[in-house]
Amino acid sequence: MLFVAAFNVQAQETVSQETEAEKQKRAMELMSIKVDMTVDTDLFMQVTPNTYVSESPKAVIMAMIVPETYENAKAKLESNLPAEFEVKDKGEKMMNGVKVIFMTGVSKAQGTTINSTVYCLKRDADTCTMFMGMSEVGADKKYVDAINAAANSVIKK
């Protein structure tokens, strides 16, 4: 009897571990999908298919597909924020005819103050597309404009 109980607990742990491994595998597969995005490559260098950076000023443009429903993504964006991230604005809005979750804020990373913008839009019943744009406070307006243009290229019907 004790052996059967121990086996059941072990089997449940194995199923749980497999499920977690499957979730991680799916997340990695989704993140490897190229997101259709237009980025000013005169300002940003591509480092992965969906990530672009600028070294000076420090700025990043990133997009990815995540294994979350729109509602789950919304809940996570509202509750799973790092303590060092100061939210300036958040909510839902229409952008280019698409309902998106958005958040803007400021954080510090490696001694640099960063303005951040996050957008999330529904891709299908089980996935969302996330867009993140970050730029060093005081960056030339052309970098902020390039981040906004990239966001607009991702968020479309």
pLDDT single digits (tens) 131-141: 999 999 999 99
**pLDDT for 80 beyond 80:** no
State the Cα–Cα distance between residues 28 and 22, nearest whole angstrom: 10
Residue in the block written with tokens 């991230």: 85
Sign of CA dihedral 66, 69, 73, 74: positive
According to the model, what pLDDT value does residue 7 have?
A: 32
Spatial distance between the Cα atoms of 146 and 118, rounded to a whole number of angstroms: 15
Tell me the pLDDT tens digit for each residue of 18-61. Answer: 587 888 888 888 888 999 999 999 999 999 999 999 988 999 99
Give pLDDT, residue 18. Answer: 56
SS3 for 30?
A: helix
DSSP string, 109-133: ETTEEEEEEEEEEE-SSS-EEEEEE
Amino acid 144: pLDDT: 95
What pLDDT, in 10s, does the model give residues 90-125?
999 999 999 999 999 998 877 889 999 999 999 999
Neighbouring residues of 122: CB distance < 8 A, sequence distance ≥ 6? 69, 70, 99, 128
